[in-house]
Amino acid sequence: HPLSVNTPPSNLQNELEKYLIFPLEDIIIRISNVVASIKRLPTLSLYK
């Protein structure tokens, strides 16, 4: 059934968002923390 693949039910999207939103926010926070710590390194201050 190719139509079911192209048009997923909205409740499936809601279920996916429930599991994806919080991990994505956590990953973004961790990445921004890593970037901030990298920017504090004196050896990389030239690349700002």
Q: For tokens 């004196």, what's the residue?
A: 42
pLDDT digits (tens, 9 = 90+) for 1-48: 445 555 556 777 777 777 776 677 888 889 999 988 888 877 655 555
Q: For tokens 């999207």, what's the residue?
A: 13
Q: For tokens 């890593």, what's the residue?
A: 34
Sign of CA dihedral 5, 6, 12, 15: positive
Residue 25 tokens read as 């926010």
Taking alpha carbons only, the member of 20, 23, 47 closest to residue 35 is 47
pLDDT at 23: 74
